[in-house]
Amino acid sequence: MHTVIIERAASYDRPLVKDALIRLLEPLGGIETFVRPGERVLLKVNLLTGKAPEKAVTTHPEVVRGVIELVQAAGGIPLVGDSPGVGGLKSVAGKTGILAVVEATGARLVEFTNPQEVAGSGMFKRLALAEAYLSADKVINLPKLKTHEMMTMTCAVKNLFGTVVGTAKAGWHLKAGADREMFARMLLEIYLLRPPELTIVDAITAMEGDGPSSGDPRQVGLLLAGTNPVAVDVIAAEIAGIPKKLLYVERVAQTLGLDGADRATISTRGLPIEEARVASFRLPHISDVQFGLPPFLKNRLRHYLTSRPCAIPGKCRLCGICADACPPHAISIKDGRLVFDYHACIRCFCCRELCPDGALDVQEGKLLTFIKKFL
């Protein structure tokens, strides 16, 4: 059986978060179960982009502070790291409030710069992850609960994609292509290369709607913890009321028979899950209804059955960030406007995720609009 703990934390008030973290870890034996004196403990935070904490894009600094202090109290040496989608680590950490916490607590910010190849045993044979992640004695995964336009939800497993260094992420997006189940499989294989010892989810203010960066903050008032990230995701999705058919990571984990994927093997402690459930948590727009179709039909009907990104007139300042980040280079700037090659586009929505100006919208395929009425 896997255990996932659920605790209430009504706000990011510093003492309140610290108390909630202590209660959260009690059923697992406290932080001492995971951290020994002198160990280098990497906190894998979500530092997607340099947005203020109240935007709910990144792990909140008060959760990071609370975990740093617990690690220090257990005699561990806390390191805080991620590989942001846009911008340098220090700059992004500064804008998100995490740098100030790192400096105030005496923790250390670590760059994810030196990719080390790790032999996988699954479909993706040669994945390279950040050396700082692989060399830590212990890893505490600190995701934010958010919606995700491509994968519906990002939480414990998806947060570990940040261990792929910088622009190599685009390469892995491209390898998985437009197939979300393939991308889910890759995320699971990354997690299995070096599973974190502990996952603590910041769901005090989560993100709903068109996440992971353009959605809306949603007060949920919870922290979750567990040792198996797949099980933590299963419970997070249940709390948010996300249907399983839209959860690619969870479905693929179950198909592969991974530990933690089967709800019957997970028990919850702390706040009863019935009391934790969030009413009408807004999901991202449905951007793909190809599930279950054979590959040849998926390719033929993709234009009609998926959404695609498009520029909002007058909002795009042609900075080129989306074009640089686009895995298949499907975006170019021509004659003073943004041009998309929709045949090349794999519908990963990295462009929307990383646009600092919220200048990209989605356009639905005609069949998708029709089918959505019956979903």
Binding ligand SF4 by CB under 6 A: which of 52, 100, 123, 318?
A: 318
Binding segment for ligand SF4 (CB under 6 A), chosen from 27-35, 90-98, 115-123, 340-348, is 340-348
Instruction: Provide the 10 A C-beta neighbour count for residue 239.
Output: 24
| 52 touches ligand SF4 (CB under 6 A) | no
Instruction: Provide the 10 A C-beta neighbour count for residue 10.
Output: 12
| 330 touches ligand SF4 (CB under 6 A) | yes
Closest distance between ligand SF4 and the C-beta of residue 195, in Å?
Answer: 28
Please give the single-letter amino acid code of residue 369: T
| 225 touches ligand SF4 (CB under 6 A) | no
Beta pairing, strands 138-142 & 144-148: unpaired
The torsion angles phi and psi of 93, rounded to 5 degrees, stand at -60, -35
**Is omega for the bond preceding 212 within 30 degrees of 0, making it cis?**
yes
CB of 177 or CB of 221, closer to ligand SF4 = 177
- The count of residues interacting with ligand SF4 (CB under 6 A) is 27
Binding ligand SF4 by CB under 6 A: which of 136, 140, 193, 331?
A: 331
| 347 touches ligand SF4 (CB under 6 A) | yes
Closest distance between ligand SF4 and the C-beta of residue 353, in Å?
Answer: 8
Instruction: Provide the 10 A C-beta neighbour count for residue 19.
Output: 14
Closest distance between ligand SF4 and the C-beta of residue 159, in Å?
Answer: 20
| 350 touches ligand SF4 (CB under 6 A) | yes
Range 284-320 burial, b when 16+ CB lie within 10 A, else e: bebbbbbeeeeeeebeebbeebbbbbebeeeebeeee
Q: How far is CA 252 from CA 103, 259, 291, in A?
A: 40, 12, 12
| 340 touches ligand SF4 (CB under 6 A) | yes
Per DSSP, 186 falls in state: H
Binding ligand SF4 by CB under 6 A: which of 255, 320, 337, 366?
A: 320
Binding ligand SF4 by CB under 6 A: which of 359, 361, 362, 373?
A: 359
The torsion angles phi and psi of 47, rounded to 5 degrees, stand at -125, 55
- Decide if 187 contacts 249 (C-beta within 8 A): yes
Closest distance between ligand SF4 and the C-beta of residue 177, in Å?
Answer: 10
Binding ligand SF4 by CB under 6 A: which of 319, 337, 372, 375?
A: 319
| 13 touches ligand SF4 (CB under 6 A) | no
Name 230's Cβ contacts closer than 8 Å, sequence gap at least 6: 156, 157, 188, 191, 249, 250, 253, 258, 259, 260, 261
Instruction: Provide the 10 A C-beta neighbour count for residue 244.
Output: 12
| 327 touches ligand SF4 (CB under 6 A) | yes
Closest distance between ligand SF4 and the C-beta of residue 46, in Å?
Answer: 19
Binding segment for ligand SF4 (CB under 6 A), chosen from 224-232, 245-253, 269-277, 327-335, is 327-335
| 360 touches ligand SF4 (CB under 6 A) | yes
Q: How far is CA 91 from CA 106, 229, 333, in A?
A: 18, 28, 27
| 310 touches ligand SF4 (CB under 6 A) | no
Instruction: State the residues that interact with ligand SF4 by CB under 6 A.
Output: 309, 311, 316-322, 326-328, 330-331, 338, 340, 345-351, 355, 357, 359-360
